[in-house]
Structure 1
Amino acid sequence: MKTCFTRSAAAVLIAVLAASGPITAAPAAAQLGGIVHDPRNYSQNILTAARTLEQINNQIKQLQNQATSLMNEARNLTGLPISTLGTLQAQVDQTRQLLGEAQRIAYDVTSVQQSFGNRYKGSALAAPQAAMVANAEARWNDSVGAFEDAMKVQAGIVANMGGTRASITTLVGASQSATGALQAAQAGNQILAVQSQQLSDLAAAISAQGRAQMLDAARAAAAEAEGRERFRRFRQGN
Structure 2
Amino acid sequence: MTRNRLLASVAAVVIWFVPTPSSAQIAVFDPSNYSQNLMTAANTLRQIENQITALQNQTQMLLNQARQLASLPTSLVNDIDRTFTQTQNLLRQADRIAYDVQAIEQTFQRYQNFSGSQSDRQLIDSARDRWETSVSAFQHAMSVGATAVNNLPATQSQTGALVTASQSAVGVLQASQAGNQLLGVQARQLADLTALLAAQGRAQSIEQARQAASEDQAREQTRRFLSNGRGYQPQSVQMFH
Please report the TM-score for the alignment, with normalisation by the length of structure 2.
0.79
Residue 100 (structure 1) shift: 1.2
Aligned to 2:3: none
Partner secondary structure for residue 198 of structure 1: helix
Aligned to 2:91: 99
The structure 2 residue matched to 1:210, chosen from 181, 201, 213, is 201
Residue 98 (structure 1) shift: 1.2
Mapping for residues 4-43 of structure 1, pairs under 5 Å:
35-43=27-35
Structure 1 residue 61 and structure 2 residue 66: aligned?
Answer: no
Residue 222 (structure 1) shift: 0.7
RMSD: 2.3
After TM superposition, where is structure 1 displaced by more than 3 Å over at least 4 residues in a row?
123-126
Residue 157 (structure 1) shift: 1.1
Structure 1 residue 165 and structure 2 residue 156: aligned?
Answer: yes
Report if the CA contact (8 A) 1:126-1:226 is conserved.
Answer: no
Determine the C-alpha separation between the residues in 2 that align with 1:225 and 1:90: 45
Structure 2: which amino acid aligns with 1:81? P
Partner secondary structure for residue 186 of structure 2: helix
Aligned to 1:148: 139
Q: Which runs of 5+ in 2 are unaligned?
A: 1-12, 17-25, 230-241
Aligned to 2:103: 111
Structure 1 residue 193 and structure 2 residue 184: aligned?
Answer: yes
Aligned to 2:81: 89
Residues 157/125 of structure 1: CA separation in 2 closer, same or farther (3 Å cut) = farther
Aligned to 2:211: 220
Report if the CA contact (8 A) 1:150-1:205 is conserved.
Answer: yes
For residues 42-64 of structure 1, what are the alpha-carbon distances to aligned partners after superposition, in whole Å with 9 as ceiling and x for unaligned? 32222222211211111011100
Partner secondary structure for residue 122 of structure 1: coil
Structure 2: which amino acid aligns with 1:95? T
Determine the C-alpha separation between the residues in 1 that align with 2:205 and 2:33: 104
Residues 190/125 of structure 1: CA separation in 2 closer, same or farther (3 Å cut) = farther
Which structure has the higher relative contact order (CA within 8 Å, separation 6+)? 2
Range 107-116 or range 157-166, more displaced: 107-116
Q: Which runs of 5+ in 1 are unaligned?
A: 1-23, 28-33
For residues 130-159 of structure 1, what are the alpha-carbon distances to aligned partners after superposition, in whole Å with 9 as ceiling and x for unaligned? 211111111111111000000001101111
Report if the CA contact (8 A) 2:114-2:220 is conserved.
Answer: no
Structure 1 residue 75 and structure 2 residue 67: aligned?
Answer: yes
Partner secondary structure for residue 94 of structure 2: coil
How many residues are treated as equivalent by the alignment? 209
Please report the TM-score for the alignment, with normalisation by the length of structure 1.
0.80
Range 216-225 or range 103-112, more displaced: 103-112
